[in-house]
Structure 1
C-alpha cells in the first residue's frame, strides 16, 4: 500500500538546471519572520510567509502590485514582458504576458538542509503562476533560480498543465518534485538565506490576473534519525474534531489520467476531508464532469485539481495546499512539526492537520498495511494521548476512523530514516504536514498556528 510514489531518493537532512523564466531582481535584507522552533531530536524548522499589503510592498515589484481587496493579494499591474512557453504536457507553445515579485532575502536562524515553498492563489482561466526559490549557501555561493512549481487551478484548453520541474541541480543542491535539498549535508553545506520569486502570467491583451494571497517557505535542518524522542501527552487528550470521512480505496481504477484512484489518492482524499471540515466543498457545477456512478465525487475532483503532470500523481505537497486555498477564504501551508505536542495544540484549537509518513506493516498497529509514503488526517487524541486519525487507506468511508498508538505514530511521522521491506535504508518525511485554515480565525487558533511558526 502506498499513498504516493516516493519522490526523493533520500529526504530531510539525509539528502545530500532549470533557471527562472523572468529576469532576476535585486535582493533586500529583511527580518526572518517567526523564530525557529526546535524539532524533536534536535534541528530546527522555520516558516516565513508573505500575506499582507505590507509584506507585498516589502518585496521588489516588476509590473505587480498589492490588490485593493480587504485580504490583500499580489496581482499584475502591467506586464513587463512576454514569454513563449512550450508546455511539455500538451505539446503546445503559447505567448504569455508576465510580471514578477521578488521577496526580500530571508536568513533563517539556523542554516537549512531543505526548503519547501507553498502558495495560495486564484488563477482565472487563461492565467497561471510560477514560484521560484534562489538561495545562498553558507560557503558564499548562490543557487540558480529553482522552479518550485508552475501552477494553475484550471486544466482546460486555455491553460497550461500544472507541473513540477525535474532535473534541477547545480552540483550542490537539487529539487525533488516539490522540495529543495542540499545534496550532501554531511559536508556541512547548508542554505544560509533565500529569496522567493513569483511570476504571474496571463494571455496577452487580457485584463485578467492571478491573485496570490500567500506565498511562503519552510526551511529545516532535521538530523538523520531512525528514532525520535517520545513526547508526553499534552493539551488535547480526549479531544476529537468532527471531520468528514472519505476512503481513497473505494476509488480504485477511477480516472487513470489522474493516477488511477485508490492507493494513489491519499493526499487529495485527506485534503478534501479538511476542506469540508471548514465548511467548503465543490459545487454541483464543479462536479458535473465526474461519472455519476462514482461515490464521493468531490474526492475525484480533488485528485484532478491536485494532479502534477510531471510527477504523474496527486501527492505534490504544495499543489495540495494550493488546491485547498482555491476555496473561499481558505488558506493552506506546507510545513514541518517537531512533535505530537505541536499537533495537540492545533487540535485543541480546532485545527486538524494532514501528516506524511512511511512505515512497514508491523510498525503501525491497526493500519493493516505498509507504505513507502502516505498522507492521513489527524483529527484528535484519546484521553491517553493516542492519535485519532482519519486514514483514507480504508475499505470504506465508515472504516476511515482509526486510533493509532502515540509512540508508533510519532516515530513513523517524524523520523527521516527507516528500513524498507527489503532491509534497505530509505527516507521518512521528517514531520511534514499540511495545515489548512480559514482567513478568519479565533484568537486561540491564531495562537496555535503561531506556536508552530505560521502567521
Structure 2
C-alpha cells in the first residue's frame, strides 16, 4: 500500500515553490545590531567527521565555557554536571497570543544569543535541536539567523516554540517564514533554490526564555545545537561494504504504532501518524528510562503500551498537526533523566554500524515505494524506523513501528535498499512526481555520561 503524504512539507519540492514572506512575530522582533558582531571563539566542531569532505556539520553549545561565549540579556549560567542557561533577571515582557488556543498572556523574557558559527562547508539546510527543562509556567523559543554566502543576512527565523508540557502554551513550529531566499517549513531552514549556488555560510541561534510574570521559576536549556548540511542531489547511493556492526543486535523494546490507530484524534489519531514518537519511546526505554504511573494516568487504561500515547502527546506539534517534528522528538527524549537528544545526518551505513557496535540505536527517517523495500509491505511518504543491529551478512535489523503488532516489529531489510531510501535526496512517487528524500537524517539519543566506547563513536560522527 502507499501511505498518505504526511503533513511535513516535502522539503526540496515545496521550498522551491515557496513565495510567502514572513518574519518572527513582532513581540519577538530584534534589532539588526543584536548580537551581530559576536565572534565565534570556538574553532571547529569537537569530534568532527574524518577529513574535510563531509557535507554535514553539527555544532552544539553544552558546556560552561560555551554558554559564557554567548551574549546574555537577563540569563545566567546554571552550574553543575549539566550546565545550562536560565533566567537570572527578566529584561522584558511580551504579550503572546497562542495561535492554537487564542489565549493572550504576558510573559517575562530573557535571551541568550550564540556566537556566530561557520560550518566547514556552506549549507543548503539547517535543523536546530535543543534539550531543556520547562517547569509549569515557562517555555522557550528557539530562533536562527543565517548569513548567506553573498554576505547578506536572513531575518531571525523561529525554529520552534516549545514546552515539555502543554498546559501553558501549545508546542508549535511556525510555517511560512521566508525572506525570498530561504524558508522554514516545520523544523528545517532551507535555501529556496540550491541550484542558484546560494548557500548558508554561517548562523547564530537565539534562545528566548519565558515565564509567568512575577514568578521565580525558570526554564533551563542544557544543549542548543544545529546540523548544517549540503547533501548533493542523488536518487541512489553506492552500496557499502558491511563492517563493524555485523552480527550485533541491540535489545531495544518493540512497539507497534498500528495498535494505536484511532486513539487520541487531538494528537493525530494514532496508527501510521505515530511512527516518530513510537520510535523515540523504544529508544528511551532501551536506555532504562520510562514515564511513571502518574505520568500515564491520563491515558485510557484499556490501551496497550500507554507510554506510546504519552510520547505522542508530548511530541505533538500543533502547527504541523502531528508528532513528526524532528527536534520536538529529540527534546522529548531529553526530558527523561540525564538523557541527550540530537538531530543530525550521518554519512552512511558505516556511521550506523559504528554506533550500533557502541550500543547506540539509530532512528532513521526515510520514504519509499512498496517495491523499494522488500519485506516492508507498504509505501510511505515519510516514516521513522529504529535501526537496532545488523545480520552476519550486514543486512539491517530494524524495529519498524509500521507493523500490525508488537511481536512483528522486528524486521530484516536488505542493506542496499535501506541505504538508498534513507540516504537519497531525490525520489519519484508512484505517479511519477519528483519528491525529496531526507539525505540521512536521524535521531540520536544517549545518556549524559556515555561509556568510553559510546563517547568515541559519538565523537567520530561529530555530535559529542
State the TM bucket, normalised to the shorter chain. Answer: over 0.9
1:33 counterpart residue number: 45
Q: Equivalent residue for 1:191?
A: 200
Matches for 1:165-314 after TM superposition, within 5 Å: 165-314=174-323
Task: Tell me if structure 1 keeps the 8 A contact 2:47–2:458.
Answer: no
Counterpart Cα distance in 1 of 2:214 and 2:3: 45
- 5+ residue gaps, structure 1, are none
SS at match of 2:263: coil
The runs of 5 or more residues in structure 2 that have no matched partner are: none
Contact 2:97 / 2:104 at 8 angstroms: preserved in 1?
A: yes
Q: Does the CA-based 8 Å contact 1:132-1:147 persist in structure 2?
A: yes
Deviations 1:88-129 (A, max 9, x none): 000110000010000000011110000000000000011000
Q: How far is the alpha carbon of 1:29 from its aligned partner? A: 1.8
Report what 1:11 is aligned to: 12
Equivalent residue, structure 2, for 1:78: 89
Q: Root-mean-square deviation (CA), in Å?
A: 1.7
Helix, strand or coil at the partner of 2:327: helix
1:23 aligns with 2:30: yes
| Mapped pair 1:91 → 2:92 | no
- Indicate the SS of the match to 1:408: helix
| Superposition misfits of 4+ residues, deviation over 3 angstroms | 1-4, 9-16, 34-39
Relative to the length of structure 1, the TM-score reads: 0.96
Residues 120 and 212 of structure 1 are in contact (CA less than 8 Å); yes or no, is this contact kept in structure 2? yes
In the TM superposition, what is the alpha-carbon distance from 1:6 to its structure 2 partner? 4.8
Between the aligned partners of 1:438 and 1:408, the Cα distance in structure 2 is 31
Match of 2:119 in 1: 108
**1:4 and 1:368 mapped to 2: Cα distance?**
17
Counterpart Cα distance in 2 of 1:323 and 1:5: 21
Report the counterpart of residue 123 of structure 1 in structure 2. 134
| Structure 2 Cα separation of the partners of residues 272 and 59 of structure 1 | 33
Separation (CA, whole Å) in 2 of partners of 1:152 and 1:79:
18
Report the 3-state secondary structure (helix = DSSP H, G, I; strand = E; otherwise coil) of the residue aligned with 1:260. Answer: coil
Q: Go from structure 1 to structure 2 and tell me whether the alpha carbon gap of 1:416 and 1:449 turns closer, same or farther (over 3 Å shift).
A: same
- The 8 Å contact of residues 268 and 303 in structure 1, kept in 2 or not, is answered as yes
1:251-303 per-residue CA deviation (whole Å, 9 max, x = no partner) reads 00000000000000000000000000000000000000000010000000000
CA distance in structure 1 between the partners assigned to 2:364 and 2:13 by the alignment: 15
Kept in 2, the 8 Å contact 1:3–1:375? The answer is no
Match of 1:66 among 47, 71, 77: 77
1:138 aligns to 2:145 (yes or no): no
Tell me the TM-score normalized by structure 2.
0.95
In structure 1, the partner of 2:441 is: 432
For 1:43 and 1:163, how far apart are their aligned partners in 2?
32
**Partners of 1:13 and 1:224 within 8 A in 2:** no
- Per-residue deviation, 1:37: 3.8
Whether contact under 8 Å (2:7, 2:321) holds in the other structure is no
Give the drift of 1:307.
Answer: 0.1
8 Å CA contact 1:76–1:200 kept in 2: the answer is yes
Report the Cα offset of residue 33 of structure 1.
1.8
| Aligned residues of 2:50 and 2:460 also touching (Cα < 8 A) | no
- The answer on whether the counterparts of 1:36 and 1:44 sit within 8 Å (CA) in structure 2 is no
Q: 2-side partners of 1:91 and 1:411: how far apart?
A: 44
SS in 1 for 2:11: coil
Change (3 A) 1:198 1:2: farther
Q: CA deviation at 1:34?
A: 3.8
Q: Pick from 348, 352, 361: which aligns with 1:352?
A: 361
> Against the structure 1 CA distance between its residues 269 and 443, is the aligned structure 2 distance closer, same or farther, given a 3 Å change threshold?
same
Query: How far, CA to CA, are the matches of 1:394 and 1:35 in structure 2?
Result: 36
Distance of aligned partners of 1:326 and 1:35 in 2 relative to their CA distance in 1, 3 Å threshold = closer
Please state whether the residue corresponding to 1:257 is helix, strand or coil: helix
Q: How many residues align?
A: 451
Q: Distance in 2 between matches of 1:18 and 1:128?
A: 20
